[in-house]
Amino acid sequence: MSRIFRFFIAIALVSGVLLYAISSLNSEQGYSGENTLTIYNWGDYIDADLINRFEKETGMKVIYETFDSNEAMMTKIKQGGTHYDIAIPSEYMIDKMRKEKLLVQLDHSKLPNLKYIDKRFMDLPFDPKNHFSVPYFWGTVGITYNPKMLNGKEIDSWSDLWDPELKNQILLVDGAREVIGMGLNSLGYSLNDTDKGHLLEAKNKLDSLTPNVKAIVGDEIRLLLENQEAAVGLVWSGVASEIMAENEDLEYVVPKEGSNLWFDNMVIPKTAKNVDGAHQFINYMLDPKIAAQNTEYVSYSTPNKAALQYLPKEMVEDERFYPSSELTEKLEVYENLGKENLAYYNELFLQFKMHRK
Amino acid sequence: MYDFKGFTLDWYKELFQDTRLLIIVLNTIVVALLAALISTMIGVLGALAIHMARKRNTKNALLSLNNVLIVSPDVIIGASFLILFTMAGIKLGFYSVLLSHIAFCIPIVVLMVLPKLSEMSPSLIDAARDLGASGWDVFSKVIIPYISPGIFAGFFMALTYSFDDFAVTFFVTGNGFSTLSVEIYSLARRGISLHINALSALLFLFTMLLVVVYYFISKRNKPNGMGVGK
């Protein structure tokens, strides 16, 4: 008995010491106390230095929490029990949260820096007049390829993917809208097309791509492309910029037929306790210099027009990540097509996946 | 990680500068220790209760109830806890994680301790009673020493279960509290930085150290005899 007893006491003591260490670390960081701001963001999606500066400037303490998918984030916010002041979901989720009344309407008078945001990225269908959200980063869907593995061949359009030379070389992301969208774009239709005839046509076109498709994968597409397991991949621009930083041979291109334009926007969830502080934070992040520093860290494309002048030239002039206005006109934001149409997209995508070879 | 150029300690330096991550590591360890400790205590009592149940049916019913948490998938347990905690008005954070970990560790402890109990000869207790031991004496000087290997095994099983649990924790973390598995998972979107690898290396060394220490302690204690100890 005494042995077990001593052992348990030792464990309890160790836990006590650790708890004390945590609480002292926490108070050293200022995580306790009233004047806090809780941010719920994707992992490693902000320059931590900026948070420190915000804390110094406002005296507020920032608690930074991370999520891994829009769905997980929405569940946490909808279920309650948390009080996030800021969240950064993607555009389709904002539409959904807006309709489920999970968001606080923004007070634009408290966001003077909103004027720096490029007009192209404001007032989009997922949030008309930006009542609920402010753009944080944006990007495109495009093709990453490895010219070295293709003997210097260049790709600049969706139709290039149907080249028989690319046999068993293409990786696709496992997303119905992305893949069916590729089929629609290559035929010159809109990404938000709901005409069943057009969709079927796109699906048939995709079926003829199957000899070239090596696999349809999730997040592991990053590693597969980086390690040159396949020469071509359908990816988001954010993923592309990260893997290009790891493997310099890779290239990224937004196909000339047009593609998808996506956003991650800052919103204030209904559960927020510090709505005023949240406005201050959004306004702070919209400051051109701050936005520029954040962009350099995250390396996604910033919607902040005034921030571009503070960024290195080769970054801003990189047409792969800041496409020309001519091309951006062809880019489309996914619209919420309603349950029925989405189900049809998923159905077609499933058929396409089963059709493989 | 694409091309290996040489050795460096930079990532360790970065790791120790990341206070947020260190807090998360400590959180994970504390939750694991406390959850294992408390669930061991409850689990031992639970195993005793099951063992001493007179009727066969009661015993079976209790055992099946105990197994519910083991057979049901983690995701279901996690989602149920999330609903329970939010309905009961418990704020998500340290206590919600600790409570849920205790809950899913208890059945494991019970299962580790039960075989030891049924292996114990009932005449041991009768003999102790015969020699004038009180109920507490029987419990603390006969039963507990006999089943202590089971208790330790249960404790360490619970510790590892709690330490690497992802699915349940994922649902019940919140309000600035997070554990290592959840944090690493949410880094996945932007690729995992190498200081996570550095952290894994340190944790591995730490557990190895614990195992070695445990080995020496148990070796030193051996001559005390097996079964009934001091």
**pLDDT tens readout for residues A137-170:** 998 888 999 888 888 888 888 888 888 888 888 9
Q: Which domain holds residue A126?
A: 34-138+263-316
Domain contains A104: yes
Whether A177 and A303 map to the same domain: the answer is no
Annotation: binding site of A: 92
3-state per-residue secondary structure call for chain A: CHHHHHHHHHHHHHHHHHHHHHHHHHHHHCCCCCCEEEEEEECCCCCHHHHHHHHHHHCCEEEEEEECCHHHHHHHHHHCCCCCCEECCEHHHHHHHHHCCCECCCCHHHCHHHHHECHHHCCCCCCHHHCCEEEEEEEEEEEEECHHHHCCCCCCCHHHHHCHHHCCCEEEECCHHHHHHHHHHHCCCCCCCCCHHHHHHHHHHHHCCHHHEEEEECCCHHHHHHCCCCCEEEEEHHHHHHHHHHCCCCEEECCCCCCEEEEEEEECECCCCCHHHHHHHHHHHHCHHHHHHHHHHHCCECCEHHHHHHCCHHHHCCCCCCCCHHHHCCCECCCCCHHHHHHHHHHHHHHHHHHCC
Residue B137: closest CA among B47, B44, B218, B228: B228
CATH number of the CATH domain containing B56:
1.10.3720.10
| Cβ distance of A25 and B144 shorter than 8 Å | no
ipTM: 0.72
Whether A283 and A346 map to the same domain: the answer is no
Domain contains A201: yes
Whether A216 and A348 map to the same domain: the answer is yes
Query: Do A333 and A124 contact (CB within 8 A), yes or no?
Result: yes
Residues in chain B, how many?
230
Annotation: binding site of A for spermidine: 92
Whether A85 and A186 map to the same domain: the answer is no
Whether A119 and A251 map to the same domain: the answer is no
| Cβ distance of B187 and A44 shorter than 8 Å | yes
| Cβ distance of B190 and A242 shorter than 8 Å | yes
Query: Which positions 285-314 of A are in contact with B (Cβ < 8 Å)?
Result: 298
Contacts 24+ apart (CB under 8 A), B72-80: B73/B167, B74/B104, B74/B165, B74/B166, B74/B167, B74/B168, B75/B167, B77/B103, B77/B104, B77/B167, B77/B168, B78/B167, B78/B168, B78/B169, B78/B170, B78/B171, B78/B172, B79/B171
Domain contains B97: yes
Domain contains A167: yes
Give yes or no for residue A43 having a pLDDT over 80.
no
| Cβ distance of B37 and A1 shorter than 8 Å | no
Domain contains B201: no
What's this model's pTM, rounded to 2 decimal places? 0.68
Q: Which domain holds residue B133?
A: 19-190
Chain A interface, best mutation among B15, B18, B20, by max A CB count within 10 A: B20
* pLDDT for position B225: 47
**Cross-strand bridge partners of residue A90:** A264
Write the single-letter amino acid at B96: S
Per the model's pLDDT, the better-predicted residue between A31 and B136 turns out to be: B136
| Cβ distance of A18 and B190 shorter than 8 Å | no
Whether A226 and A306 map to the same domain: the answer is no
Domain contains A17: no
State how far the Cα of A245 lies from the Cα of A149, in Å rounded to an integer. Answer: 18
Whether A197 and A334 map to the same domain: the answer is yes
Domain contains B202: no
Domain contains B217: no
Query: Do B187 and B196 contact (CB within 8 A), yes or no?
Result: yes
Whether A169 and A302 map to the same domain: the answer is no
* pLDDT for position B18: 76
Chain B CB contacts of A30 under 8 Å are: none
Total tally of structural domains belonging to chain A: 2
Shortest Cα distance, chain B CAs vs residue A280, angstroms: 20
CATH number of the CATH domain containing A342:
3.40.190.10
Tokens at B206, concatenated:
């730490």
Domain contains B4: no
pLDDT values of chain B reduced to their tens digit, one per residue, 230 residues: 456 777 888 888 877 877 778 888 888 889 999 999 999 999 999 999 999 888 889 889 988 988 888 888 989 999 899 889 888 888 888 888 999 999 999 999 999 999 989 888 889 989 998 998 888 888 888 898 888 888 888 888 898 888 888 889 988 887 778 888 888 877 765 566 777 888 888 888 888 887 888 777 667 655 554 544 44
Domain contains A246: yes
Total tally of structural domains belonging to chain B: 1
Whether A184 and A329 map to the same domain: the answer is yes
Give yes or no for residue A34 having a pLDDT over 70.
no
Put simply, whether A47 touches B (Cβ < 8 Å) is no
